[in-house]
Amino acid sequence: MKLYFAPNSRAVRIAWLLEELGLDYDLERFQLGQPEMRAPDYLNVHPMGRVPALQDGDTVMFESGAIIQYILARHAKGRLQPSEDSAEFPIYLQWFHYCEGMVMPPMNSIVVETILLPPDRRSEVHARRATKLLGQMLVAIEQRLEGRDYLVDDFTAADIMTGHACLMSGRVGVDLSALPNIRAYNARLAERPALVRALAL
């Protein structure tokens, strides 16, 4: 497998999963915004010139949640997700997809308004609104983590997806002081050796 990667992006999720599973992979490393990401060769891999993308033999994919589901189905041998006939499986699916449906949209707005746009085009109003909305989206995770170490009973790929979003929330400036369960969760995740290795890439 070959992972097209940039630090501080959703590609960290894929590297984290591959490290958790102990799978071998090659890394094509970019910096976000690097001109090579718009080169014709890479646009044949990811038509929007973004990361992550994964090449596995003749299979090429470029959406982080889909890539994770693919790796789990083809290479994980049942690890990091509950069995489909278990009572935990629908809970796992809900929290697996919660990040992209609820957490990442306002986070994307924060990143655009505080980092990607030039200063003269940024909107403090939009950034504050997105930050408030992101905080509201985290409340459901805070409640779910009450009395739990992870979103399902054991560590799963849902923690890679939504846990990564929780970690990034703190990095984009969301005040987590009223969310002690998420703070503890983030600390637990940050100690996982596979994530430490993924963040060092």
- Looking at residue 102, which CATH number applies to its domain? 1.20.1050.10
Q: For residues 111 and 136, state if they share a domain.
A: yes
For residues 165 and 111, membership in a common domain is answered with yes
Report the alpha-carbon distance of residue 175 to residue 171 in Å, rounded: 10
Range of the domain at 177: 89-192
Which of 44, 75, 106 is the endpoint of a domain?
75
Same domain, 51 and 119: no
Angle at 17 between CA 77 and CA 147, to 5 degrees: 95
Task: Give dist(CA 86, CA 79) in Å, integer.
Answer: 14
In a domain, 105, yes or no: yes
For CA atoms 93, 171, 79, 142, give the dihedral sign: negative
- Find the helix packing angle between 104-111 and 124-144, rounded to 10°: 150
pLDDT given for residue 122 in this prediction:
92
Q: Classify residue 198: in a domain, yes or no.
A: no
One digit per residue, the tens of pLDDT, for the chain of length 201 reads 999 999 999 999 999 999 999 999 999 999 988 999 999 999 999 999 999 999 999 999 999 999 999 999 999 999 999 999 999 999 999 999 999 999 999 999 998 998 888 999 999 999 999 999 999 999 999 999 999 999 998 999 999 999 999 999 988 888 999 999 999 999 999 999 999 999 999
Q: How many domains does the chain have?
A: 2
Q: What digits encode the pLDDT tens for the residues 43-75?
A: 999 999 999 999 999 999 999 999 999 999 999
